[in-house]
């Protein structure tokens, strides 16, 4: 049986370990692995190639994705989805694994409703914002990249009477920001899901500054769209000279952590097991309460991801 794997949307550390495991395991099972390059765009343009072991040698430790990814406006048009399906048929591909996020799975839901596409999605995004799963590939690596940056920023912040405001990624989700704030000992965390209690927090920090506090660290999720507001608040209300750092795309890079390598291993095995037994899978592999399972694609795309309440509550306990 011919099986293929592709990446879609933003890249995430953990994709390369998943790609390597896919190729090695498919060969081990006596099937034929294919790689789809450049995501949905590559699927449309027939950038589909038979995979060999040398294609995935020495990639386990690398961030990003060796088969690249894309976001595709063309895929919104039926004629291009039809072309993508015909390309799969041309290569005799009977099963597809898609490494991607919410937008990618919405595209696959539409695709599979129109054509006989047998796929399993593996949640892969540093935002960790896919409904139905507690974990997405790339999240732990991104957290460690952010943690390393914040530790270094705190070093210089403590050397001056300054506050440092750090904007992190996460799209419209504050999960990355909250965990980063907890792990770095930040005093302030601003996310889309929780109202910024500027008056109460500002009074407390201003009093602490008067009593000897000489620096502070604030983490702002990009989706909150409050970087400028928090910057002005730190200077004018809290009373600390403030510097802003936008971490940007370094959060997507870096060697995959042990956790992301292991999660990729288990996600791929689960997906391949299901594809081997079903011809109309259309599922998403998820991790819930310590267990791996498969759920319907409709369940994933029908609701918005909710950050666990215990993490939202943690914002009130930052010092």
Return the active site residues. 127
Cβ neighbors of 94 (< 8 A, separation 6 or more) are 1, 2, 3, 118, 275, 279
Do residues 93 and 3 lie in contact, with contact meaning Cβ atoms separated by under 8 Å? Answer: yes
Nearest partner of 308 among 292, 288, 291, 284, judged by Cα = 288
In three state form, how does the secondary structure of the chain look?
CEEEEEECCCCCCCHHHHHHHHHHHHHHCCCEEEEECCHHHHHHCCCEEECCHHHHCCCCCCCCCCCCCCCCCHHHCHHHHHHHHHHHHHCCEEEEEEEECHHHHHHHHHHHHHCCCCEEEEEECCCCCCCCCCCCECHHHHHHHHHHHHHHHHHHHCCCCEEEEEEECCCCCCHHHHHHHHHHCCCEEECCCCCCCHHHHHHHHHHHHHCCCCCEEEEEEHHHCCHHHHHHHHHHHHCCEEEEEECHHHHHCCCCCHHHHHHHHHHHHHHHHHHHHCCCCCEEEEEECCEEEEEEHHHHHCCCCCCCHHHHHHHHHCC
CA distance 103 to 126: 14
């Amino acid at each position: 049986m011919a099986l293929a794997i592709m990446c879609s949307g933003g890249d995430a550390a953990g994709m390369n370990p998943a790609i390597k495991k896919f190729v090695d395991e498919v060969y081990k099972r006596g099937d034929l692995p294919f790689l789809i390059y450049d995501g949905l765009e590559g699927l449309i343009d027939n950038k589909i190639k038979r995979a060999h072991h040398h294609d995935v040698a020495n990639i386990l430790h690398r961030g990003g994705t060796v088969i690249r990814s894309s976001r595709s406006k063309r895929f919104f048009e039926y004629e291009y989805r039809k072309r993508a399906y015909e390309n799969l048929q041309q290569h005799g591909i009977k099963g597809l694994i898609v490494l991607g996020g919410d937008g990618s799975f919405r595209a696959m839901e539409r695709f599979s409703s129109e054509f006989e596409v047998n796929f399993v999605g593996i949640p892969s995004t540093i935002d960790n914002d896919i409904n139905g799963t507690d974990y997405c590939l790339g999240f732990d690596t991104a957290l460690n990249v952010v943690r390393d940056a914040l530790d270094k920023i705190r070093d210089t912040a403590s050397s001056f009477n300054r506050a440092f405001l750090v904007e992190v990624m996460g799209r419209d989700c504050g999960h990355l920001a909250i965990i980063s704030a907890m792990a770095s000992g930040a005093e302030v965390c601003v996310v889309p899901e929780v109202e910024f209690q500027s008056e109460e927090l500002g009074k407390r920090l201003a009093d602490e500054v008067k009593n000897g506090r000489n620096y502070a660290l604030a983490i702002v999720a990009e989706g909150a769209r409050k970087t400028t507001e928090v910057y002005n608040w730190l200077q004018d209300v809290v009373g600390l000279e403030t510097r802003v750092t936008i971490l940007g795309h370094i959060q997507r890079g870096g060697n995959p952590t042990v956790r992301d390598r292991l999660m990729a291993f288990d996600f791929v095995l689960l997906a391949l097991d299901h594809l081997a037994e079903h011809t109309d899978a259309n599922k998403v592999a998820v991790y819930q309460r310590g267990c791996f399972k498969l759920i319907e694609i409709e369940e994933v795309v029908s609701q918005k991801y909710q950050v666990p309440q215990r993490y939202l509550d943690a914002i009130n306990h930052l010092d």
